[in-house]
Amino acid sequence: MSFDPLQAWRLDEEPYYAPQAEELAAFEAAHALRLPVLLKGPTGCGKTRFVEHMAWRLNKPLVTVACHDDLSASDLVGRWLLDAQGTRWQDGPLTQAARYGALCYLDEVVEARADTTVVLHPLTDARRILPLTSCNELLHAHPDFQLVVSYNPGYQGMHKTLKPSTRQRFVGLEFSYPGAGQEAAIVAHEGLVDASLARQLVAVAEQTRRLKEHGLTEGASTRMLIHAASLTRHGLSPRVACLQAITCPLSDDPDLATALAAAVDASFAH
């Protein structure tokens, strides 16, 4: 059996994903053309699960990087390491994906430093190359390599966005929270709760999302609802589960916290 350098990045089971529109076909078309893909949407609406599902659907390994303020170009590309045998080059996750042919997913790419995203440019145009200047190599991306990035447009209000020179290199897919019926079905499936409780949790989420007009940065995500559902399955009352999984994480503002708690109480008054 030959060695598979990307074995650790392969998915063993199909990740559950409920399509909202034509995003499956859209992604497959972009993959066939090896076009880089940009996913836009609020936190916790299913962007990461979508990429996982597509990697499984396409039978490709998925290299995922959670971007953050301290993410450097070396963290993505690679660096020289010193060990007992001397110095050796170690590929970073982006280089591994490009060298061996994987989907590379940069989650919340706007969190990375601006100078870091510049290394993506030669991989996201017709050249599909990655210059590894530190080890004097010009890496031509594997034919199966595809770059996928995601970000939350809401961060633009907090001075976090992608430069046009970066953003315009991608084809885009926009995500939002599913409709109430579909979201309840997702919460019931993922949280392993009955449909009635799932609908109540979605009703709480819809109330919190309306508070965005009153100072709340973001309403409750589908992920938060699944967390609340899971907590109820382990013995917490729905009200306490919502306070723990939704109200507390959403805001530290006393007035907003009161409004959020009221929304929970209204849904689970009996």
Taking 60 as the threshold, does the pLDDT of residue 1 lie above it?
Answer: no
Q: What are residue 35's phi and psi, to 5 degrees?
A: -90, 135
Of 56, 32, 160, residue with least CA distance to 105: 56
- pLDDT score recorded for residue 116: 85
Task: Please name the residues in contact with 235: beta carbons below 8 A apart, sequence gap of 6 or more.
Answer: none
Q: What's the rounded Cα separation, in Å, for the pair 17 and 52?
A: 9
Q: Are residues 149 and 197 both part of a single domain?
A: no
State pTM to two decimals: 0.91
Of 123, 118, 166, residue with least CA distance to 147: 123
Q: What's the rounded Cα separation, in Å, for the pair 227 and 57?
A: 26
Q: Are residues 206 and 105 both part of a single domain?
A: no
Q: Which residue has the higher pLDDT, 159 or 39?
A: 39
Q: Which among 174, 195, 213 is the end of a domain? A: 174
Q: Are residues 134 and 230 both part of a single domain?
A: no
Q: Are residues 88 and 72 both part of a single domain?
A: yes
Q: Give the domain extent around 258.
A: 180-267
Residues 79-111 pLDDT 10s: 999 887 889 999 999 999 999 999 999 999 999
Q: What's the rounded Cα separation, in Å, for the pair 143 and 53?
A: 20
CATH value at residue 49: 3.40.50.300
Q: Are residues 185 and 169 both part of a single domain?
A: no
Taking 60 as the threshold, does the pLDDT of residue 157 lie above it?
Answer: no
Residues 104-118 pLDDT 10s: 999 999 998 877 888
Q: Are residues 44 and 100 both part of a single domain?
A: yes
- C-beta of residue 219 within 8 angstroms of C-beta of residue 201: no
Tokens representing 177 are 């929270």
- pLDDT score recorded for residue 156: 54
Q: Are residues 92 and 108 both part of a single domain?
A: yes
How many folded domains does the chain comprise? Answer: 2
The answer to whether residue 2 is domain-embedded is no
Q: Are residues 197 and 162 both part of a single domain?
A: no
- pLDDT score recorded for residue 54: 98
The answer to whether residue 118 is domain-embedded is yes
The answer to whether residue 146 is domain-embedded is yes
Q: Are residues 41 and 146 both part of a single domain?
A: yes
Average pLDDT, the chain: 92
Q: Are residues 228 and 259 both part of a single domain?
A: yes
Taking 90 as the threshold, does the pLDDT of residue 31 lie above it?
Answer: yes
Q: Are residues 65 and 154 both part of a single domain?
A: yes
Q: Are residues 146 and 254 both part of a single domain?
A: no
Q: Which among 127, 146, 174 is the end of a domain? A: 174
The answer to whether residue 1 is domain-embedded is no
Q: Which among 135, 155, 174 is the end of a domain? A: 174
For the chain, what percent of residues have pLDDT higher than 70? Answer: 96
The answer to whether residue 70 is domain-embedded is yes
The answer to whether residue 204 is domain-embedded is yes
Q: Using 50, 70 and 90 to split pLDDT, how confident is the model at 269?
A: low
- pLDDT score recorded for residue 155: 61
